[in-house]
Amino acid sequence: MDSFEFNKIAAAVLVTILLIIGIKEISDIIFHVEKPQQSAYKIAGVDLKTETNSETTKKDELQLNLITPLLASASIDEGANLFKRCAACHVVEKGGANKVGPGLWNIVNNKSAASEGYKYSAALQAYGKNWTFEALNKFLYKPTQYIKGNKMGFAGLNKESDRANIIAFLNSKSDSPAPLK
């Protein structure tokens, strides 16, 4: 095949592409359809009002079952095993140095953003509540959804039993663990 044949084939491909694009643009101009201001079909009983801010806030809140009943049967050993995922960023030893994340000794029922020497995100500092069993449950479920703007790069734990086991394990890492019942 000589270069003239190759040029004819390349020109045919380019003309075909340009023709397809041109036909599409011309058909868009000829058959232009504007989006209607109102829905064409009204459905009885459906209100198309926008949500208010309070409705959106309620929808965004995490709705989880209470974790406290599961804590009585939670396994500290299983929690220790699950905590291995967290150990790359956190320590649970008393007096342990902060890593990528803060040390978690004595975290249960302690104030959030309280580990000395760790630079917390503004969102976690503003949270300002204690880490109760239920707060830890919601945080461990979806950290970035529970406290929007925190910098924890963990997706969360979906299984309630896993969250209960880790919370029981974290509770055991304290000078005075809270009762699990």
Q: What is the three-class DSSP state of 136?
A: helix
For residue 55, tell me if it sits in a domain.
no
What percentage of the chain carries pLDDT values higher than 70? 87
Q: What is the 3-state secondary structure (H, E, C) of 6-56?
A: HHHHHHHHHHHHHHHHHHHHHHHHHCCCCCCCCCCCCCCCCCCCCCCHHHH
Confidence of residue 23 (pLDDT cuts 50, 70, 90): very high
pLDDT at 132 over 80: yes
Does 8 reside within a domain?
Answer: no
CA atoms within 13 A on the CB side of 12: 6
d(CA 162, CA 152): 18
Q: Which pair of tokens denotes residue 34? A: 């504007």
Give 130's strand partners. Answer: 111
Total domain count for the chain?
1
- 143 inside domain: yes
Has residue 94 been placed in a domain?
A: yes
- Tell me, yes or no, whether 3 lies in a domain: no
Answer whether residue 125 is part of any domain: yes
CATH number of the CATH domain containing 95: 1.10.760.10
pTM reported for the whole predicted model:
0.65
Please check whether residue 4 lies inside any domain of the structure. Answer: no
Residue of 148, 83, 90 whose CA lies nearest to 121: 148
- The answer to whether residue 134 sits within a structural domain is yes
More confident residue, 177 or 40: 177
Q: Which residues, in sequence order, are bridge partners of residue 111?
A: 130
167 lies in which domain range?
Answer: 67-173
**Would the pLDDT of 68 be above 70?**
yes
